[in-house]
């Protein structure tokens, strides 16, 4: 009888302990749901973050260039090479809530069709223009960052890329975008081969289709 009584007491204590543990874990869970997890931003911080990353005047200036453009292209492979001229088409489209402009470019290069895509935007936090380019004649991606001039009509990007003419050695470049109007702008690409001076390797004049 005593053994049985002790056993019942032990079982009762175990049940009470389990109930208490369950209740405690439930309270703890409710408390964790009621309070924001450590490290996560609160509502005010979230609102400030969203405001800081919202499109601004720089993005509005990009939007003015949305549409279809005819391209007049002049390029040189090296500083002393003859100029090559061609025509092309370019379609600019604003994406991701007007945060970036996607440009679909098509032309001919040395008698063969050539296509490329450019993404341009303005990084509010860096306070820099950003650009990404890739095409169907290369396996790499060209990235660049730039700053706008005081007049707000031009942006100068800088960066570097592995040049196939130099066996993959890095080559510095400078790109200048100049906006004459909502219907016309120019792109100039300046390259600096290692050990040599800078030269204008490409110029494209974009004119809006009528």
Q: Each residue's pLDDT tens digit in the chain (210 positions)?
A: 333 434 433 334 344 344 344 444 444 444 445 455 667 888 888 888 898 899 999 999 999 999 999 999 999 999 999 999 999 999 999 999 999 999 999 999 888 999 999 999 999 999 999 999 999 999 999 999 999 997 889 999 999 999 988 889 999 999 999 999 999 999 999 999 988 999 999 999 999 998
Q: Are residues 12 and 103 in the same domain?
A: no
| Pair of tokens at residue 44 | 């005010």
| 192, 198 Cβ separation under 8 angstroms | yes
Q: Which helix (H) or strand (E) holds 69?
A: strand 67-75
Range of the domain at 48: 2-52
| 194, 173 Cβ separation under 8 angstroms | no
- Cα–Cα distance, 165 to 9 (Å, whole number): 88
Q: Are residues 11 and 83 in the same domain?
A: no
Q: What is the pLDDT of residue 38?
A: 64
Q: What is the pLDDT of residue 35?
A: 55
| 161, 143 Cβ separation under 8 angstroms | no
Q: Are residues 81 and 140 in the same domain?
A: yes
* Residues ≥6 apart with Cβ < 8 Å to 209: 67, 68, 69, 70
Q: What is the pLDDT of residue 41?
A: 85
Q: What is the pLDDT of residue 21?
A: 40
Q: What is the pLDDT of residue 19?
A: 39
Q: Are residues 98 and 136 in the same domain?
A: yes
Q: Are residues 28 and 85 in the same domain?
A: no
Q: Are residues 90 and 123 in the same domain?
A: yes
Q: How many domains does the chain have?
A: 2
120 secondary structure, DSSP code: E
Tokens 């973050």 — which residue? 49
């Amino acid at each position: 009888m005593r053994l049985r009584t002790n056993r019942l007491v032990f079982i009762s204590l175990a049940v009470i302990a389990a109930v208490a543990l369950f209740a405690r874990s439930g309270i703890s869970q409710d408390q964790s749901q009621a309070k924001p997890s450590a490290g996560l931003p609160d509502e005010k911080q979230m609102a400030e973050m969203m405001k800081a990353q919202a499109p601004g005047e720089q993005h509005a200036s990009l939007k003015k260039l949305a549409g279809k453009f005819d391209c007049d292209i002049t390029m040189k492979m090296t500083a002393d090479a003859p100029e090559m001229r061609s025509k092309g088409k370019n379609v600019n489209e604003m994406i991701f809530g007007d945060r970036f402009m996607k440009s679909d470019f098509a032309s001919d290069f040395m008698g063969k069709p050539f296509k490329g895509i450019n993404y341009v935007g303005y990084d509010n936090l860096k306070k820099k223009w950003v650009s990404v380019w890739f095409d169907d004649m290369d396996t790499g991606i060209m990235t660049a960052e730039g700053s706008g001039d005081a007049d707000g009509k031009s942006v100068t990007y800088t960066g570097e890329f592995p040049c196939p003419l130099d066996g993959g050695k890095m080559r510095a470049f400078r790109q200048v975008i100049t906006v004459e109007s909502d219907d016309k702008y120019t792109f100039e690409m300046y390259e600096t081969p290692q050990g040599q001076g800078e030269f204008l390797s490409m110029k494209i004049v974009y004119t809006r289709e009528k």
